[in-house]
Amino acid sequence: MERTGTILRGREFEPVEGRIVIDEAGRIEAIEEASVESNDIICPAFVNAHTHIGDSIAKEAGRGLSLEELVAPPDGLKHRLLRSADREDLVREMRRSLRFMQRSGTAACLDFREGDVAGVEMLTEAQQGLPLEALAFARGSVDAMRAGDGFGASGANDNTFDAEREATREAGKPFGIHAGEVNATDIDPALDLEPEFLVHMVHPEEHHFERVADQNVPIVVCPRSNLVTNVGLSPYTELSERTTLALGTDNVMLNSPSMFREMEFMAKCSDLPADEVLRMATINGAEIAGLEYGVLEPGREARLLVLDGDSHNLAGARDPVRAVVRRAGVDDIQETILEPATN
């Protein structure tokens, strides 16, 4: 199988006019420079590095509530709604969110999975038959972590998480934790756990920048969520100078799980260049999760989007990377390739 157009090749998203060849196993066989008639833009599919899709049952609930009132365990609005919801409804609405992510170009999401072992099982059921990979960063118990793909801790002010951290390390799985979302008090204890990644980091202090750099710990930022919950925006430039940043959409009750929207918002509320924002939405999240895709290079798994460069929205774009990050949307997608080639 091959597709032609302007291919955003490699980690730097070098625009290459030509064709991308995908073998029968679903890997990129070659990227060939050639003169082609297609105006399409071919870019990596997205990796949404932080989601909570369990609250898909409660979109736009909780108007006027603080972050703690909305999502703090165990009695924030979200957790009360999850406890009272019917299992069938939870699975159905999670699947709808996964299908939306698939349609809007997301190949994988890292979901902080509430509900212990049962929550992991619901996510597995919700993604059944879909090409999108929904990775369960479980919470609630060590058993849930073992049933899932890693552990996703709420925050170091909620618990010490020492036992969960050690068990996750022994299982050879990644450990992620929220930190610095409301204030700085949980950042040092979160870093003490030596996590594989942190989420949010809205309120780091100077010594936290140094610790993040020394530990080389990636950070997933969620700008739209932080704006909605009124906790502020992370110091993106300062963080990016010290570590790898990835991008997540956070709670479905607060935001649509659209990486197009998240990229556009990030690009327009920060000084980060478009190519860095696109890396945050693709390869950086993939590397946190240990996935082989997120970048278009020979030998990599082919997870990619074909965007209509002649759409009313994209026609005339002079910079394809900026156009993907700041302008493109689901209506510009001509094709998503998220599973092995069949033709």
> What band does 341 get if pLDDT is binned at 50, 70 and 90?
low
Contact partners, residue 48, CB within 8 Å, separation at least 6: 101, 106, 108, 109, 110, 247, 248, 249, 257, 259, 285
Q: What is the Cα Rg of the chain in Å?
A: 20
pLDDT at 128 over 50: yes
Average pLDDT over residues 256-272: 98
**Is residue 342 scored above 50 in pLDDT?**
no
Q: Under the phi-then-psi rule, with left for phi > 0, alpha for psi from -120 to 50, and beta for the rest, what region is 177?
A: beta
The contacts of residue 32 (CB under 8 Å, 6+ apart) are 18, 19, 20, 21
In sequence order, what E strands does 172-327 have?
175-179, 197-200, 219-221, 245-247, 250-251, 304-307
In the predicted structure, residue 343 carries a pLDDT above the cut 50: no
Average pLDDT over residues 190-198: 98
What is the per-residue pLDDT across 93-114, written as a single tens digit (0 to 9) for each? 999 999 999 999 999 999 999 9
What pLDDT is attached to residue 178? 98
Q: Which pTM was predicted?
A: 0.96
* Residue 71 confidence class, pLDDT cut points 50, 70, 90: confident
Residue 127: is its pLDDT beyond 80?
yes
What pLDDT digit, counting tens, does each position of 36-63 carry? Answer: 999 999 999 999 999 999 999 999 988 8
3-state helix, strand, coil in the chain (%, to 5): 35, 25, 40
pLDDT at 15: 98
Average pLDDT, the chain: 96
Q: Is the pLDDT of residue 162 over 90?
A: yes
- Residue 225, classed as helix, strand or coil, is helix
